[in-house]
């Protein structure tokens, strides 16, 4: 039986008007004259999503892609220019620092205010009050006006209220990045508890590792439109490809600026190809046994003499978590000047990896840290075992004994 839909985003668009006047006087002078002094900015364009009960959905994308706007639209803070958002159940939202708090009220008064807005009666708030304060860890300051709170104290109290109002849907923006590590860990543990209880969570974050760890589904937004929607692994691949494309454009622009400033042609170097071969001779997308080695062959081309440079290789999970990385500089191997095409090879011996699929990464740069070319998914390989008795990416020979 399919879980019911608790959030429906139906063809939602959101437009903001950007005014070009620099002062109130200019706005008054230009009032009603024409549209030359303002322009429309579409933060969201025709976004449609159905989110089912009990799922955890990550909204990801570059800065300015519309993630927070979509979350505020779902939370009812912003009204869409067109389309509609339908919700089922009680909603709690952590959208931005201090949202829902009045700066002149104390922490205690804001707990009652915020929780009542979220639908709790005064008696219910009183019943949860001690637990809220205990979770926040700011008992000493609960009767202080919140305008004197630090950003971390704001987040602690806001999150404590949100998770104690018994929400069916929890919306969380990037605010958790403000708290210290112990509090972040406490928050993530509570999110795991919510997941086990079958609650629905929509999370906006720039931490792609959190998306991979917590979310069943990820939605990539780019320029206000949905670029990908599916399993976190597939969505993260789309986003990282976009990031890499942007980074290569920035590298090219930086080289052009350097050429203009110095009058010297900057070398353009790149990987022409990368191939894998296991110790047993398998090529293409080789399947390795635990502890077997892997050779990574690379062809590099430079259109001008390339001096003081380095090549890097790495191994990552398919979600992008780097497990190992090195380069010729760290290995103490100086490379000769490259002018034209060169072929090189790394050998990764005795890979201590568990069963699963892995990605080989490659990087090319100068010794002063300038990146010339990076390939975050250069090739893939798998590790196959006949008797998997562990979890995680690292294979460790483990024994167990009972001592008297």
Domain boundaries, the chain: 1-21+38-89+168-232, 99-165, 267-383
Confidence at residue 22, expressed as pLDDT on a 0 to 100 scale: 60
Beta strands in 20-60 (DSSP E): 38-52, 56-60
Question: pLDDT tens for residues 103-162?
Answer: 889 999 989 888 887 778 889 888 989 998 998 888 899 999 988 988 888 888 888 888
| Nearest to 197, CA basis, from 155, 225, 169, 226 | 169
Confidence at residue 82, expressed as pLDDT on a 0 to 100 scale: 93
Distances in Å between the Cα of 26 and the Cα atoms of 33, 167, 252 are: 12, 46, 40
- 73 with 62: CB under 8 angstroms? no
- What's the CATH code, domain 1-21+38-89+168-232? 3.40.50.300
Average pLDDT over residues 99-104: 78
Q: Which residues pair with 91 in a beta bridge?
A: 169
pLDDT at 33 over 60: no
Question: pLDDT tens for residues 373-387?
Answer: 888 889 999 988 876
Q: Which residue has the higher pLDDT, 267 or 290?
A: 290
- 205 with 174: CB under 8 angstroms? yes
Average pLDDT over residues 378-401: 83
Q: What percent of the chain has pLDDT over 90?
A: 33
- pLDDT band for position 294 (50/70/90)? very high
C-alpha span between 67 and 175 (Å, rounded): 13
Confidence at residue 44, expressed as pLDDT on a 0 to 100 scale: 93
CATH superfamily of 267-383: abc- transporter (atp binding component) like domain (2.70.50.60)
C-alpha span between 125 and 119 (Å, rounded): 10
- pLDDT band for position 34 (50/70/90)? low
Give the DSSP letter of residue 103.
Answer: T
- 65 with 239: CB under 8 angstroms? no
Angle between helices 151-164 and 122-136 (to 10 degrees): 130
Distances in Å between the Cα of 139 and the Cα atoms of 108, 135, 314 are: 10, 9, 47
| Residue 287: how many other CB atoms lie within 10 Å | 14
- pLDDT band for position 81 (50/70/90)? very high
Average pLDDT over residues 310-336: 91
Contacts of 169 (CB under 8 A, 6+ apart): 6, 7, 87, 89, 90, 91, 92, 199, 200, 201, 202
Confidence at residue 36, expressed as pLDDT on a 0 to 100 scale: 62
**Can you say whether residue 224 is alpha, beta or left, with left for phi > 0 and alpha for psi between -120 and 50 degrees?**
left
Average pLDDT over residues 320-336: 91
Going across the sheet that includes 269-278, the strands are 269-278, 294-306, 338-348
- pLDDT band for position 20 (50/70/90)? low
Q: Which residue has the higher pLDDT, 10 or 350?
A: 10
| Nearest to 51, CA basis, from 20, 67, 17, 74 | 74
Confidence at residue 7, expressed as pLDDT on a 0 to 100 scale: 93
Average pLDDT over residues 76-105: 83
C-alpha span between 242 and 376 (Å, rounded): 11
């Amino acid at each position: 039986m399919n879980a019911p839909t608790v959030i429906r985003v139906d063809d939602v668009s959101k437009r903001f008007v950007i005014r070009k006047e620099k002062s109130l006087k200019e706005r008054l002078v230009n009032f009603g004259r024409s549209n030359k002094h303002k322009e429309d900015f579409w933060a969201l364009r025709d976004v449609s999503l159905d989110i089912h009960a009990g799922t955890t959905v990550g909204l990801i994308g570059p800065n300015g892609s519309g993630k927070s706007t979509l979350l505020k639209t779902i939370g009812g803070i912003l009204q869409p220019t067109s389309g509609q958002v339908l919700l089922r159940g009680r909603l709690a939202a952590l959208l931005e620092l201090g949202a829902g708090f009045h700066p002149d009220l104390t922490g205690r008064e804001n707990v009652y205010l915020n929780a009542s807005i979220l639908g709790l009666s005064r008696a219910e708030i009183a019943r949860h009050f001690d637990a809220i304060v205990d979770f926040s860890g700011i008992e000493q300051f609960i009767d202080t006006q919140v305008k004197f709170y630090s950003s971390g104290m704001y987040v602690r109290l806001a999150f404590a209220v949100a998770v104690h109002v018994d929400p069916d849907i929890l919306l969380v923006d990037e605010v958790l990045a403000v708290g210290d590590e112990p509090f972040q860990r406490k928050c993530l543990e509570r999110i795991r508890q919510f997941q086990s209880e079958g609650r629905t969570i929509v999370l906006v974050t720039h931490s792609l590792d959190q998306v991979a760890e917590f979310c069943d589904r990820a939605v990539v937004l780019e320029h206000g439109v949905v670029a990908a929607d599916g399993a976190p692994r597939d969505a993260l691949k789309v986003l990282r490809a976009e990031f890499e494309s942007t980074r290569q454009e920035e590298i090219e622009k930086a080289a052009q600026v350097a050429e203009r400033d110095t009058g010297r042609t900057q070398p353009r170097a790149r990987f022409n190809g990368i191939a894998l071969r296991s110790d047993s001779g398998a090529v293409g997308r080789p399947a390795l046994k635990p502890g077997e080695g892997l050779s990574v062959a690379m062809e590099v081309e430079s259109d001008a003499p390339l001096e003081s440079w380095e090549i890097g290789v790495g191994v990552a999970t398919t979600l992008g978590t780097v497990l190992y990385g090195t380069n010729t500089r760290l290995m103490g191997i100086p490379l000769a000047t490259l002018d034209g095409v060169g072929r090189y090879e790394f050998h990764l011996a005795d890979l201590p990896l568990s069963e699963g699929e892995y990605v080989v990464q490659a990087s090319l740069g100068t010794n002063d840290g300038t990146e010339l070319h990076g390939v975050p998914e250069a090739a893939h390989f798998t590790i196959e075992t006949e008797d998997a008795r562990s979890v995680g990416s690292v294979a460790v020979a483990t024994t167990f004994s009972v001592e008297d």
